[in-house]
Amino acid sequence: NAGVTQTPKFQVLKTGQSMTLQCAQDMNHNSMYWYRQDPGMGLRLIYYSASEGTTDKGEVPNGYNVSRLNKREFSLRLESAAPSQTSVYFCASSSQGYRTNTGELFFGEGSRLTVL
């Protein structure tokens, strides 16, 4: 049971390049999230998708776009990477609905991105 899978695990970009981080979950969860982790700042929500077909901005959406491709997959795109986007990115998922939602998030292993 894979849970939440992120690719790639590591990436180095030059300023101005673009890339997409991929995320897939096999737990039949409705909601998916992208967080970034920076030293001393904890995890900050970039974008989330409460259900298939919807996406919403989180705390730090500038410079990012997302696509909820289907129920399983949620991608994060950097159109023109900047050094300030050097970070570790985590995808997460959760169930939804009054009876099925247990509240917690399930995380992938992370994608470490460096922008030079």
Partner 1 sequence: AQSVAQPEDQVNVAEGNPLTVKCTYSVSGNPYLFWYVQYPNRGLQFLLKYITGDNLVKGSYGFEAEFNKSQTSFHLKKPSALVSDSALYFCAVRDKIGILTGGGNKLTFGTGTQLKVEL
Q: How many helices (H) and strands (E) in the chain?
A: 0, 11
In sequence order, the β-bridge partners of residue 32 are 49, 93
Task: Determine, following the binding rule CB under 8 A, whether residue 105 of this chain makes contact with partner 1.
Answer: yes
- SS3 (DSSP) at 102: coil
CB of 53 vs partner 1, minimal distance in Å: 13
Question: What is the smallest separation between the CB atom of 83 and partner 1, expressed in angstroms?
Answer: 22
Burial of 87: CB neighbours in 10 Å, binned 0-12, 13-18, 19+: buried
- Contact letters for partner 1, residues 68-87 (x by CB under 8 A): --------------------
| Residue 25 binds partner 1, judged by CB under 8 A | no
Q: Residue 17 or residue 95: which is nearer to partner 1 going by CB? A: 95
- The site that binds partner 1 (CB under 8 A) totals a number of residues, namely 32
Other residues' Cβ atoms within 10 Å of the Cβ of residue 115: 19
Q: Which of 80/101 has CB closer to partner 1?
A: 101
